[in-house]
Structure 1
Amino acid sequence: MTERPSAFAVDRRGFIRLAGSTAAGWLALGATPDRMRIVASLTVLPLDDELTRRSMTDSATTRLGGLIAGLRQRGWVEGVNYRFEIRSTFGGPDKFKAAVRELIDLKPDVILTGSTGETAAVMAATKTIPIVFATSNDPVGNGFVESLAHPGGNVTGFTSSTAEMGGKWLQLIREAVPDIARVGVLFNPATTPRAGRFFLDSLEQEAAASGVAVVLAPVSATADIDGAISRFSEPPKAAMIALVDSFLVVNRQTIIAATAKYRVPMIYPFHYFMDAGGLMSYGPTLEVRSADYVDLILRGTKAGDLPVQAPRKYELLINRTVANALGLTIPFTLLARADEIRE
């Protein structure tokens, strides 16, 4: 929907210069290294989750599949010159700690993390193994990096949203449901950036300007979701916003089922929710750029020398069939701006 060039984006020529400054350089492209490298990854999703299974089978269309395909293009072939290890942190605190410890004990050459909590846990466990976070909304505020341009330490990666997205989500859901008097905000304080405040400031500013009341709907367990959403099915008329939150991604099916049950319109931050039957989403287009950074790190570049990169494009998705089921007529002006309309 909107192109947003990152101030810290590195073009291909820049990557070549970075690689050329390392000991291995690009001369090693396609060559078998002196030892088998280990690329490790943590996922907050269960290994049998649909998203995880798709990631391991669909090449360039998913984050992990795109990583493996991208590494192959750069001369890294799984089972030949590197080995890929993945662990799930799903299943409670003990399982989380065990998954992190298992990967650290492998002494991998680089670890990819998929959520803020995972990044924090791995950083607490190692100051030397390079870490690349696939999504982090506030890496400076979370203490992961010194700055976006110069991360320092052993960490770098990619952001997925900005604080201003809170206000943008409210604007869009109000266009779809213009007569709402209040908006509910669904999130888990333990797994969303700054316990929700990262997005709430801009959301509350937009709400004040538009005369909409903001009602927080924090949840900490799957069993809380149904009740949190049912509150917004009664007058005064309401819609909801799901914040960027790994807990909500894991429980996306439960959330979608509750919104359908109680006929509550909700906007989501990722297309994952649309795949589960959500009404609309606005968030970053999936771009698998981690292969560039993993390749450079495997060739000797320090993670802290690679700038954190922001999304280059955001997309608006709308499901018109879901809208009809909720009794909504999406305005043509909104449909015309959608990157994808699902029927």
Structure 2
Amino acid sequence: MPGQRAPSFRRRRLLGAAAVLAPLAAIAPAASAYGASPHVPRIYMILFRGETDVEAGFHQWFRDKHLDAEIMVRSVDMDASRVPALLDEARAWHADLIYTWGTPVSLAVAAKEFEIPIVFTMVSAPIAAGLVPGLATSRRNLTGVSHVVPARQQMNAIQTYRRFDRIGAIFSPNEVNAKVAMREMRAESEHIGVEFTAHAVPLDETGQPRPDAIPEMLQEFAERKTQLIYIGPDSFIASQRILVTETALALGLPVFSAAEVALRDGSALFGLVAGYKNVGRLTAHKAAQILYHRVKPAALPIETPGTYSYLVNMDVARQLGMMPPARVLQFAEQIK
């Protein structure tokens, strides 16, 4: 596959099982703020479902800082059992840092790798998932970025739009992060007297969630007079965002999303989110601290981006006849 050039770093890409490498030339030296280094650091990315805007933000941050790095990209295509083989490749490639996307991949990598520094991203509940004991320090050779707004703030955002008394949710039973989100949102719902019903997507004979079951699950929610569908931090549901949000829209069900992708590349009505590119930039900053300043990962706290965005899909609002109230329009970002 022919190479493509970028202004400040080399990048090798391989998604899924495809055995194709596309090197990108590294041109610019490391920024003076990080100090010059004769060694071009190698970053090995293990993604869950291919590249996203998180990686776009990561790469852009390195370009903006004029940092030189060689990046190899791999995706497990939603199958974390592929992680051990990829770790063998990362070690053979002499990676200086491993970047992991999402809870399933991050847990699988952290369980096997103890020498190469790890920076995780898009992990919604790192403590509850057992990835770290606390946010101040991991006490081991990893750090990272969480992306999900706390459940209480999500519930406040939901009720700010209008009063929803019956909320339904579907989730993957294979993802720790998704189950934690359902538990936390149920607790917040009980606190304010809202009914919250969450159903796990049934699994097929291989143990994977069945996309074909989603329309019937949403139909059942509509028949039970559910007022809102909640999408939490769930990589499987995110991969099925078009099916979920468009089916819900056809049934007259508004969708609140805790992740940006279902709003910008789906038909969710609204959500309170940390922007994917901002998540990527913060992750890149942590990687640079390790690679250029030689900061130990355990010395870097686990953080979320400092700001959140309240997004409203105005086209969906019109279709549903649920235009946002004036108070929401004062601070919401409107997507058309």
Q: TM-score, normalised by structure 1?
A: 0.76
| Structure 2 residue corresponding to 1:129, chosen from 89, 93, 116 | 116
The reply on whether 1:267 has 2:267 as its aligned counterpart is no
Kept in 2: contact 1:318–1:342 (CA 8 A): yes
2:148 paired residue number:
161
1:282 has 2:272 as partner: yes
CA shift, 1:107, in A, is: 2.8
Which residue identity lines up with residue 289 of structure 1 in the other structure? L
- Contact 2:31–2:67, Cα closer than 8 Å, also in 1: no
Q: How much does 1:108 deviate? A: 0.8
Partner of 1:315: 309
> Hey, what does 2:172 align to over in structure 1?
188
Q: How many matched pairs?
A: 295
Which secondary structure state, in structure 1, belongs to the residue aligned with residue 228 of structure 2? strand
After superposition, the Cα gap between the structure-2 partners of 1:198 and 1:341, relative to the gap in structure 1 and judged at 3 Å, is closer
Cα 1:265–1:123 shift into 2, 3 Å:
same
Percent identical among aligned pairs is: 23
Once the two structures are TM-superposed, the CA of residue 73 in structure 1 deviates from its matched residue by 4.5
Deviations 1:236-271 (A, max 9, x none): 342111111122222212212211222211100122
| Pair 1:332 & 2:321 matched | no
RCO higher in 1 or 2 (8 Å CA, sep ≥ 6)?
A: 1
Give the counterpart of 1:120 among 98, 107, 127: 107
Q: 1:342 to 1:181 in 2, by over 3 A?
A: same
CA displacement 1:145-179 (0-9 Å, x = unmatched): 343222221100112235x42x443443344453x
Q: Is the 8 A contact 1:144 1:155 kept in 2?
A: no
Residue 111 (structure 1) aligned with residue 98 (structure 2): yes
The match for 2:289 is: 296
In the alignment, the residues of structure 2 paired with residue 141 and residue 293 of structure 1 have an alpha-carbon distance, to the nearest angstrom, of 22
Contact map agreement 2:172 2:234 (CA 8 A) in 1 = yes
Asked whether the 8 Å contact 2:49–2:77 carries over to 1, the reply is yes
- Show the counterpart of 2:46: 42
2:26 aligned residue: none
Across the aligned residues of Structure 1 and Structure 2, the Cα RMSD in angstroms comes to: 2.7
Name 2:75's counterpart in structure 1.
88
Unaligned 5+ residue runs, structure 1? 1-24, 47-51, 56-61
Bigger shift: residues 100-109 or 181-190: 100-109
Partner SS state of residue 221, structure 2: coil
Match of 2:196 in 1: 214
Is the CA contact (8 Å cut-off) linking 1:135 and 1:160 kept in structure 2?
yes
Aligned to 1:68: 59
